[in-house]
């Protein structure tokens, strides 16, 4: 059964997102010990697109940006547990400080796969910045260096997160209403 926007309720407001993204930008900038020109911000598509666009506005202009895309769904709403690259970085990261920017970490499977795949490319450092973390769903613990918000185990949309490709462009985070979730099948955002 398909969900509509009315099946969701606000969880994190636009104002809360703006404030926290600004704080994350300051936190990340303050941690750059080799200068911003060595930093490569790596966005994990598609979900991190909006978050990354907002975050890099609060980072020094000398950084570089790149993107990659992972897949583990094979068209469904539940992870297959097998992660693969749909496409990869376009620039080498050897000797660079890499900041992985993700929309949500819940099971940790995708991030474990990604961090290991990036480590073999010999970056100077790798750090993870995620907008959301759902610790209740953790299967593989992942070190999160910069965290926006910890949330309960609810299916969320907006600010880059989607349901069947829709609602990424909401300016806030919305969660599936509990009464809807209890009456319909549960959805998961990310492995």
Structure confidence at residue 64 (pLDDT): 96
Choose the catalytic residue: 33, 106, 162, 171.
Answer: 106
Structure confidence at residue 184 (pLDDT): 59
Q: Report strand pairing: 84-87 vs 64-71.
A: antiparallel
User: For the chain, how many residues are written?
Assistant: 191
**In terms of C-beta density within 10 A (0-12 exposed, 13-18 middle, 19 or more buried), how is residue 158 classed?**
buried
Structure confidence at residue 77 (pLDDT): 44
Q: Which residues, 6+ apart, have CB-to-CB distance to 182 below 8 Å?
A: none
Q: Write out pLDDT tens, residues 118-169.
A: 999 999 999 999 999 999 999 999 999 999 999 999 999 999 999 999 999 9
Q: Is 162 an active-site residue?
A: no
Structure confidence at residue 71 (pLDDT): 81
**Top CATH class, 14-154:** alpha beta
**In terms of C-beta density within 10 A (0-12 exposed, 13-18 middle, 19 or more buried), how is residue 161 classed?**
buried
Domain regions of the chain by residue span: 14-154
Low-confidence ranges of the chain (pLDDT < 50): 75-77, 186, 190-191
Q: In 10 A of CB 1, how many CB atoms?
A: 7
Structure confidence at residue 189 (pLDDT): 56
What residue has token string 């319909």? 184
Structure confidence at residue 86 (pLDDT): 85
């Amino acid at each position: 059964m398909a969900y509509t926007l009315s099946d969701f309720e606000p969880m994190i407001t636009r104002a809360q997102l703006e404030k926290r993204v600004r704080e994350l930008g300051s936190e990340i900038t303050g941690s750059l010990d080799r200068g911003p020109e060595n930093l490569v911000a790596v966005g994990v598509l598609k979900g991190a697109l909006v978050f990354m666009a907002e975050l890099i506005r609060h980072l020094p202009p000398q950084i570089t940006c790149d993107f990659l895309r992972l897949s583990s769904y094979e068209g469904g709403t539940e992870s297959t547990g097998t992660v693969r690259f749909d496409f990869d970085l376009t620039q080498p990261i050897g000797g660079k400080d890499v900041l992985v920017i993700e929309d949500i970490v819940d099971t940790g499977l995708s991030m474990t796969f990604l961090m290991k795949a990036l480590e073999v490319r010999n970056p100077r450092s790798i750090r993870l910045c995620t907008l959301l973390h759902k610790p209740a769903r953790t299967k593989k613990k992942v070190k999160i260096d910069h965290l926006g918000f910890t949330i309960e185990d609810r299916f969320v949309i907006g600010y880059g997160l989607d349901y069947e490709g829709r609602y990424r462009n909401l300016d806030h985070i919305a969660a599936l209403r509990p009464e809807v979730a209890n009456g319909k099948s549960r959805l998961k955002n990310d492995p």
